[in-house]
Amino acid sequence: MDFSRHEIALMAMAFGVAMVCLAAWMQHRRKYRLMPTLVAPIPLMIFGFAIALISLVVFILPSRL
């Protein structure tokens, strides 16, 4: 399959948003559950936000080709 730059950026953006949503759910779940999780949600949220932001910039910038 031949994906364009915009399609790859949209897939990366969806992945980043999904990571942020997963980390928010983990943080919400942590409040109501006594057993702590093994993965801290804040680094996942920051990493997901960075992926989504970079892919948004790639999607918006005009193609140089």
Tell me the C-alpha distance between 17 and 20, whole Å: 5
Residue 46 lies in a domain: yes
Q: What are the pLDDT tens digits along the chain (65 aa)?
A: 667 888 889 999 999 999 999 999 888 877 777 766 677 888 889 999 999 999 999 888 876 65
Residue 22 lies in a domain: yes
Q: What is the pTM of this model?
A: 0.78
Residue 45 lies in a domain: yes
> Which residues form the domain of 19?
9-30+40-60
Tell me the C-alpha distance between 59 and 9, whole Å: 6
User: What length does the chain have?
Assistant: 65
In the structure encoding, which two tokens stand for residue 24, read together?
A: 């928010």
Per-residue confidence (pLDDT) for residue 13, from 0 to 100 = 94
Per-residue confidence (pLDDT) for residue 50, from 0 to 100 = 95
Give the residue among 64, 52, 60 at the shortest CA–CA distance from 12: 52
Cβ burial, residue 58 (10 Å; 0-12/13-18/19+): middle
